[in-house]
Amino acid sequence: MIPVYLLYDEITKDYYIKPNMGVKMNDKEILYQSLVEIKKLITNKELSPVELTEMALERIEETNDKTNAFLNVYPEMAINDAKKVEQKIINGESLGLMAGIPTSIKDLEPVKDMITTKGSLPSKDEISDIDQIGVERIKEHDGIILGKTNVPEAGSSGTTENKLGDDCRNPWNLDHTAGGSSGGTGASVASGVTPVAQGSDGGGSIRIPSSFCGIYGIKGTQGRIPRRHAGLSSWHPVNFSCMGPMSRYVIDSAMMMQAMAGPHPDAESGTIQTAPPDFISNIEKGISGKKIAWSQDFGCRPIHPDVKTNTQNAVKVFEDLGAKVESFDFTFNLDDLEEPIMKVLGFASRYAGGGEDILKKDPDAFMPHVFNTYLRGKEVRADDYVRALAKLYEYRAYVESIFEEYDFISAPTMAIPANKINERAFFENGKVIFKEWNDEIKFHSNDHDFSTWNYVYHAMTSLFNWSGNPAATLPAGFSKDGLPTGLQIIGKKENEVGVLQASRAYEIARPWHEDKPNI
């Protein structure tokens, strides 16, 4: 028998739970099950969407004072939405992909009638009057939104810290970070609040916390999931950020991605204008015969020894599944990209997206590194911008050349396991080191350079935001200190199906679902 909770019947073409792994109706363990299995219970009238939503809200009460995963929770709205889904079932109406499943939205995205802080103290009371497109589609597919999950200010860090409250903490060890910028999403899914939730990824922000928290996360090809057009910045030619799902099961991410993806008349520039493929039906096809380019460090990244050992073992799973894994020398000088992409394109884009108004406000209300990025963006010269754009497209051509020979690239997701809350990781002299990161430094110091103090966190992930390729992270064992590590799998542009197939094959061969933090 395949050692995984959720199995697939080739005859009936349906999923089922491994014997003796069934859910208990009055046990919040149900929240750790797959969306697919919970959806069956709901549609078969064995479980009420209201009851399930109440379980999830209770789970928030049990865990949120420890993890700080949620910034704002809306119990009344969630229960009312669950009652509407329940009424659809009573009326015999068909349900959407989310079918009464509780979920959450990262607090960078607007949800109508909910506060959207973007992790920023000046926005702590701002109520949105519109839904982000992906949010709108989750609602259309009968998802129940519990609230907004924690983010670093402006989504600008690989750890989740802001002036709204305590840091977002890792369920596996509350003295460690949950990662960022979708840290609240990662902590909530790992804690069993919801089976799947929405995140976004502009430099690794889905994959970083998914790796740190021991769950699955995937970002699609740039433009696969649309965002609503929001003024001049939405026409910007450089956009690295995209929405995506984070979950315990691969199929759950496929279903949320299916719900959110596809063109929209109000979408920003760069949105893929063709209908998305079927992410769900073809997920079981495996990866036999595929070629994978394996890089331990992309040629220049120092890797923590526990991460190195775990990912070297994990990538061998693909060989066992019939893929050909070859070591690959990543020859592009990635250090040459940090200055033009992060400091020129990134900061200039941030300033163009509202920096003039931000710089008129009290700088003490913001995280210092965030305020400084707007200052830096204002200083970018036109000639530097043009050279940076050329460097970006040179790099994208290099990545495309890799995929002329290989079907996938694989590498560690993170160079490190999750660091302690009061520390921060840095690359120095070819090693990863950890330095003190107290509140005085975090909230008041102007000495740290954004790209330097955040470099370790996006070093392995941002490369594929810059290239625009779909990328996922898979749980890859634990460090000696009991913290999760992750393996990354990257596919050709618009081949999310291939990434999901590789992910699902790995999941069957090396299931992680029995591993749960004690929280």
For the stretch 266-276, pLDDT in tens is: 999 999 999 99
For residue 24, the model assigns a pLDDT of 47
Nearest to 66 by CA among 175, 179, 210: 175
Residue 15 predicted with pLDDT over 80: no
For residue 1, the model assigns a pLDDT of 30
Q: Quick one: what percent of the chain has pLDDT higher than 70? A: 93
Residue range 36-47: mean pLDDT, rounded: 96
Which phi and psi angles does 208 have, rounded to 5°? -65, -60
The DSSP line for 117-168 is -TT-GGGTTPBPSS--HHHHHHHHTT-EEEEEE---GGG--SS--BTTBSPP
Residue 221 predicted with pLDDT over 70: yes
For residue 28, the model assigns a pLDDT of 82
Q: How confident is the model at residue 230 (pLDDT cuts 50, 70, 90)?
A: confident
Q: Quick one: what percent of the chain has pLDDT higher than 90? A: 83
**Which is more confident, 148 or 375?**
148
Q: How confident is the model at residue 229 (pLDDT cuts 50, 70, 90)?
A: confident
| Least confident span in 62-71, 248-257, 332-341 | 332-341
Residue 19 predicted with pLDDT over 50: no
For the chain, give the mean pLDDT: 93
**Which is more confident, 507 or 374?**
507
**Which is more confident, 429 or 19?**
429
Burial grade of 49 (CB within 10 A; 0-12, 13-18, 19 or more): buried
Residue 232 predicted with pLDDT over 80: no
The residue count of the chain comes to 519
Helices then strands, counting H and E runs in the chain, come out as 18, 17
**Which is more confident, 349 or 110?**
110
Q: What per-residue string of b and e applies to 142-169 under the rule 16 or more CB within 10 Å gives b?
A: bbbbbbbbbbbbbbbbbbbbbbbeebbb
pLDDT tens by residue, 48-102: 999 999 999 999 999 999 999 999 999 999 999 999 999 999 999 999 999 999 9
Q: How confident is the model at residue 20 (pLDDT cuts 50, 70, 90)?
A: very low
Which residues are within 8 A (CB) of 107 and not within 5 positions of it... i.e. 6 or more apart? 71, 72, 116, 117, 118, 119, 148, 149, 150, 151, 184
Residue 339 predicted with pLDDT over 60: yes
d(CA 158, CA 418): 10
What distances in angstroms separate CA 281 from CA 171, 197, 274, 284, 489, one per listed residue? Answer: 33, 21, 19, 8, 20
d(CA 71, CA 303): 33
Name the residue ranges covered by the structural domains of the chain. 6-509
Residue range 30-53: mean pLDDT, rounded: 96
For the segment(s) 6-509, the CATH number from 3.40.50.2300, 3.90.1300.10, 3.90.1150.10, 3.20.20.70 is: 3.90.1300.10
Residue range 435-462: mean pLDDT, rounded: 83
Residue range 277-291: mean pLDDT, rounded: 97
**Which is more confident, 441 or 279?**
279
**Which is more confident, 450 or 116?**
116
Q: How confident is the model at residue 335 (pLDDT cuts 50, 70, 90)?
A: confident
For residue 186, the model assigns a pLDDT of 99
Residue 35 predicted with pLDDT over 60: yes
For residue 449, the model assigns a pLDDT of 60
Residue 21 predicted with pLDDT over 50: no
> Do residues 440 and 450 make contact, with C-beta atoms less than 8 angstroms apart?
no
Residue 244, beta-bridge partner list: 199
Nearest to 254 by CA among 98, 49, 485, 103: 98
The CB density around residue 255, as the number of other CB atoms within 10 Å, is 28
d(CA 327, CA 322): 16
Q: How confident is the model at residue 353 (pLDDT cuts 50, 70, 90)?
A: confident
d(CA 478, CA 512): 11
Which residues are within 8 A (CB) of 401 and not within 5 positions of it... i.e. 6 or more apart? none
* C-alpha atoms less than 13 angstroms from C-alpha of 293 in its C-beta half-sphere: 21
Q: Name the maximum alpha-carbon separation found in the chain.
A: 65
